Amino acid sequence: MSSDQPDKPRRPRGQATAVVQGGRDPFAHHGFVNTPVYRGSTVLFKSLDSFERRDQRYVYGRRGTPTSEALEAAIAQLEGGARAWLAPSGAAAIATALLTFTRAGDHMLVADTVYQPTRKICDGPLTRFGVESTYYDPTIGAGIAGLMRPNTTLVYAESPGSLTFEVQDIPAIAAAAHAGGALLAMDNTWASPLYFKPFQHGVDISIQAGTKYVVGHADAMLGAITVAEPLAHKLVAEAGGLGICAGTEEMFLGLRGVRTLDVRLERHWRSGVEVARWLEQRPEVARVLYPALPSHPQHELWKRDFLGACGLFSVVLKPCAKTALAAMIEGLELFGIGASWGGYESLVLPFEAARARSATVWQPEGPTVRLHIGLEDVDDLKADLDAGFARLAAAG
Ligand SMILES: *Cc1c(COP(=O)(O)O)cnc(C)c1O
């Protein structure tokens, strides 16, 4: 049966199928299931004429290989965008996107709760290059129209926000940005390309720290920028021109990670909800900041726009001594202390967000801790945290 019969539209396929199939072409590689790692700088041409016209599919390692194309195709398809470009890290993807889509004299609106290194890129190199940033309350929604200036060319969102997990009204922000002639860029790392479809909600440029759930095993750094069709040519020309490319091994690990993204995220989500609900009942906890919980201030927005939640959220504890918190955290056996997240293992990280906010005030009731809920047995995670709370009480 041919799938191109106009009266018989092909049934749309689901996400689990897309993660398995995306970017794969076994018979272009002698039938091997996985796209091989092409290690290459030089690509040979058959004639001088051919070299002068660069008339072949691959011209130089930095400009693309079958391996990079496979991962870019998979990510672009899952995000719902037209074209992706890989970067050596999530931070590099953010910097590259901002350099590509702004110019001197431009004004940007940036969510106050962005990943902190993003704020440093805006306040550092972009400011030096004559691009001004104003930070906005991530819950502003359509009100962002009031902050648009004639030279506002880019609105930058991250939903939910880093550390404090405010969910943004992306469709409302997209409408206001577009009405003012600006593009909307978004860091989509928390939801991964599976649980938020940026291009269905008006985003023009989506950024993924592939280091997190795409790679999924805490063993590689990777980033991706995905854009809508009108921006594809510029992305490829500028990001390629800046020399941005990912390492071959890292691309392979990204491709390997993609294939299990659907099943991994489902477990991170289920365990995340279970641990978060359990934490909410604890007397030591003031609040749990997790969009998937009905108690979250933007839970309804999350339900409206997201297809799921990952295993990352924060907990505001009731006031306690720093030594008591240290006793709790340092004794945990299953939660490692460390930056990043998205691997298979659980992590814990105390944080201070107040000084990283300029448009909003962050005044938690007590110490704040970010948790990444990994793929361990959820009862073991709860038991580990339970023992931690006992240490907290004993030390307090
Ligand atoms: C980790 C992270 C990044 C940066 O990714 P790296 O690969 O570590 O550079 C960007 N955005 C968010 C939301 C992140 O959590």
Q: Give residue 8's pLDDT.
A: 66
Select from 3.30.230.70, 3.50.50.60, 3.40.50.1580, 3.40.640.10 the CATH code of 16-43+54-259.
Answer: 3.40.640.10
Q: Single out the catalytic residue among 38, 106, 115, 169.
A: 115
Burial class (CB in 10 A: 0-12, 13-18, 19+), 254: buried
Cross-strand pairs, 283: none
Tell me the CATH number for domain 261-395. Answer: 3.90.1150.10
DSSP character for 151?
A: T
Task: Give all strands (DSSP E) within the chain, no chain letters.
Answer: 83-87, 107-111, 132-136, 152-158, 183-187, 205-208, 223-227, 285-289, 312-317, 336-337, 347-351, 368-372
Q: Give residue 13's pLDDT.
A: 83
Q: Give residue 6's pLDDT.
A: 57
Give average pLDDT by consecutive 10-residue segment, the chain, 396 residues: 56 89 96 96 97 95 97 98 98 98 98 98 98 98 98 98 98 98 98 97 98 98 98 97 97 98 98 98 98 98 98 98 97 97 98 94 97 98 98 92
Pocket mutation for ligand 1, best pick of 96, 212, 251 (most atoms within 8 Å of C-beta): 212
Instruction: Judge whether 187 counts as a catalytic residue.
Output: yes
For the chain, the structural domain boundaries read 16-43+54-259, 261-395
Residues with CB under 6 A from ligand 1: 89-91, 115, 158, 162, 187, 189, 209, 211-212, 221, 223, 340
Measured between alpha carbons, how far is 34 from 25 in angstroms, rounded to an integer? 8
The residue whose C-alpha atom lies closest to atom 4 belonging to ligand 1 is 90
